[in-house]
Amino acid sequence: MFWWENEFLQVKAGRLFPAGRDAAAIAGGHGTPLFIYGSERIRANFRRLASGAGPSPGREIRICYALKANAHPGILSLLKNEGAWIDAVSPGEVQAAVRAGFPPGRILFTGTSCGTSDFEPLLRRPGLTINLDALEQFPLLKAARDRIAPGRRVRMSVRWNPGLGRGFNPKVITAGARSANGTPVKFGIEPKDVPGLFRRARAAGFDPVGIHQHLGSGWVRDDYPAVLEAVDRIVGLARRLEDEGFPLEFVDFGGGFGARYARSQKPFPVERYLRTLLRRLDEAGIKAPALAVEPGKYLVADAGLVLLRVEYLKRGFGNLFACVNAGTFNTVPRPAIYDTARHEIINATRIDGRPKRKMTIAGHLCETGDVFGIDVRIPEPRPGDLLAVLNAGAYARSMASTIRDRSRRKSSSEILSAAGRNPGGRFPAVRRGPGSLSGPPPVHQRNGMNLFVLFM
């Protein structure tokens, strides 16, 4: 058994079977590049996380899905039915969540560099919680509130910066004074300013209901001690605010724990972490009835893949390239953006084939960095073989661009699958366009630009 096999991915007779179907057959019906997501794996990930802390009498655990990871409407609907909340970072994401059926009262909006044009549509959704990322946002929010909903007690919370961050790459460290590469961190409010902001908000007729932190993305086991230090800091802040008479509704510890991207990766101990969060809150006497976390990758990364077709092999200066019919920036941009990002890549047509070669998987964009993997050892593909880039369920399609006019409209489709259903193989479409968050979902539509399908 391969380390990456799960409810969604299996190997049969040397071929890849996502959701119980031959990848080659799916690609034959829909073309490539093709994203496939597994609903059963997403559901299993959510339920494992929801039960991971064990009993939590008197304390609700809110699992706020980081919608920026993947906004596929079918995934949002599935998670809503499982009881998820939403972590949204733009008005468009709020709109997508509401369209999927999430009530505003189950959405937390956290935006950076926000202006009144961002706040105004949010204020038209009573019950939504606005999480302020900067002191300077408060007068803008107040001005928008006084114009849109004068006198309303708007729910707000505060994203503080605990002074330390953690992430798999300097570009995703979101707390502390500076990232590991020296970049100043733009997120969060300094500890000394948080109590004063709570007092200003209450005096202005807002309801400050929670505190929030987010350290960064892609934690592994070695990050656990630093993460716990940040946990102790926010628990101390919660204690201070409650002592000052602020009845907190929630303490939000953010996201950061993710999926396993490589055999050698030592996963972050998520269940142990959740139990520790509950214990720390109890030991400090925190009265807030809810604890929140914001997983994205953890829920959807390993429930997705993208299939690419090999056009030809190229040899040059001792290098061997498998040249495929997609670009990283248009499908799976993480390897091009973050130099430490890795995705497992397999020959879906001949997983155990021979001979195995070390090769670079090259995209079709005019960029030297447009490579899905460097010196990847896989069975040597033939033209027409399918390569599968794994862990493409998060921050892949949602981060894709139209660089070099290799538009997402023209270049990829998405399928959300449920194992063992719809043996006939006909797939109803669930949304149109290039990953748009707007517009009603079509049914049985293929518009020549893109195909979004859900087979159940």
Round to whole Å and give the CA distance between 162 and 399.
27
- Residue pair 334/343 in contact (Cβ under 8 Å)? The answer is yes
Alpha helices for 250-383 (secondary structure H): 270-283, 297-300, 334-337
- Residue pair 172/338 in contact (Cβ under 8 Å)? The answer is yes
Dihedral (CA of 232, 238, 242, 247) sign: negative
Q: Which of 250, 128, 122, 145 is nearest to 204 (CA)?
A: 145
Residues ≥6 apart with Cβ < 8 Å to 92: 437, 438
Round to whole Å and give the CA distance between 453 and 58.
41
Pairing between β-strand 129-132 and β-strand 85-88 as defined by DSSP bridges: unpaired
Round to whole Å and give the CA distance between 185 and 163.
10
Task: Return the structure tokens found at 67.
Answer: 């919608």
Round to whole Å and give the CA distance between 336 and 330.
11
Round to whole Å and give the CA distance between 163 and 189.
10
Is 114 catalytic? The answer is no
Residue 309 dihedral angles phi and psi, to the nearest 5°: -100, 135
- Residue pair 376/345 in contact (Cβ under 8 Å)? The answer is yes
* Separation in Å, CA 49 to CA 147, 231, 397: 41, 18, 24
Tell me how far the alpha carbon of residue 355 is from its chain's centroid. 36
Rg of the chain over CA atoms, in angstroms?
23
The β-bridge partners of 376 are 359
Residues ≥6 apart with Cβ < 8 Å to 351: 2, 11, 14, 15, 16, 379
Cis peptide bond N-terminal to 267, omega within 30? no
Q: Which of 64, 114, 323, 366 is catalytic?
A: 366
For residue 112, give the 3-state DSSP assignment.
Answer: coil
CA atoms within 13 A on the CB side of 117: 2
Round to whole Å and give the CA distance between 456 and 288.
40
Active-site annotation, residues: 366
